[in-house]
Amino acid sequence: MNMIGKEIRLERIIDRNTRKTVIIPMDHGFTLGQIEGLTNMTNIISEVSEGGANAIVLHKGMVKIGHRKSGKDIGLIVHLSASTAMNPDPNDKVLVCTVEEAIALGADAVSIHVNLGASQESRMIEEAGIISKDCTHWGMPLMIMIYPRGKDISSTSPASVGHCVRVAEELGADLIKTNYTGDPISFRKITEACSVPVLIAGGEKAGDLETLRTIRDAVSAGATGVCMGRNSFQRSDPRRFVHSICNVIHRGVDPEKAMVTR
């Protein structure tokens, strides 16, 4: 098992001093099209990297557009699965990239998406198992983005979120992205029962202070950081807001002060 490769690559994603991370996913264009914030990929990648983000998530075709072209370096996670909002069931994620392709692109990690409770759950779990095997073989860290999504399933229920985290851990994830349950007490029970770093998703865009308070609460409950897209790249000043997120996660600054501290 090539674990040293995973360790070396994870150092580009998780801060070695704080043991926390700020990841900005930018894979939304595949699902939603030319959405606000992601129409100029070169600029937005530069903005979030200068803001202090540890890594970004891109689909394979977008890597050549702006990653590591100039400015501050930033970790690269290549996303392997996708769907579009045009599909009657956007929860149906399929593989569109391989671990080997991600290695050729210079990725520091790969990510896949699994929706528990969706009608295609079995296939997504099966594909995640295959990708996990490939990641172990190549020494490539695997982030599993896993959510409770389906008929009559609460997306933030502690039981459902906890089940998602356990499935990802059992599949061999090195990082797990999932929904925040909404309160630190229930979320701490989830993180304490998991041996793998857990990151919270950002979801729909919310207010600056509200978002930073949620991040603070999640980190206080054991989250290793955030994997937050629209709640970061759709701000009027993405660089400043990502800097504020980093203040909360890496420097422990109160949200009220984090927004003005540069």
Quick one: pLDDT at residue 206?
80
> Bridge partners of 198?
176
Q: What percent of the chain has pLDDT over 90?
A: 89
Q: Determine which one of 177, 180, 208, 217 is catalytic.
A: 177
pLDDT, one tens digit per residue, over 82-127 is 999 999 998 999 999 999 999 999 999 999 999 999 999 999 999 9
What is the spatial distance between Cα 128 and Cα 116, in angstroms, rounded to a whole number?
12
Quick one: pLDDT at residue 3?
79
Quick one: pLDDT at residue 203?
72
Average pLDDT over residues 18-43: 95
Quick one: pLDDT at residue 70?
64
Quick one: pLDDT at residue 68?
63
The overall average pLDDT reported for the chain is 94
- pLDDT reading at 260 higher than 90: no
Quick one: pLDDT at residue 150?
86
Under the banding of pLDDT at 50, 70 and 90, the label for residue 187 is: very high
In this structure, is the dihedral angle defined by the CA atoms of residues 62, 207, 155 and 86, taken in order, positive or negative? negative
> Bridge partners of 177?
145, 199
Please give the torsion angle defined by the CA atoms of residues 202, 207, 208 and 214, in that order, rounded to the nearest 10 degrees: -50
Q: What percent of the chain has pLDDT over 70?
A: 96
CATH code for the domain in which residue 56 is found: 3.20.20.70
Q: Is 27 tagged catalytic?
A: yes
Instruction: Give the count of domains, the chain.
Output: 1
pLDDT, one tens digit per residue, over 128-172 is 999 999 999 999 999 999 999 988 899 999 999 999 999 999 999
Q: Determine which one of 27, 108, 174, 208 is catalytic.
A: 27
Q: Is 6 tagged catalytic?
A: no
- pLDDT reading at 222 higher than 70: yes
Q: Determine which one of 6, 147, 208, 217 is catalytic.
A: 147
Question: Domain residues for 199?
Answer: 3-258
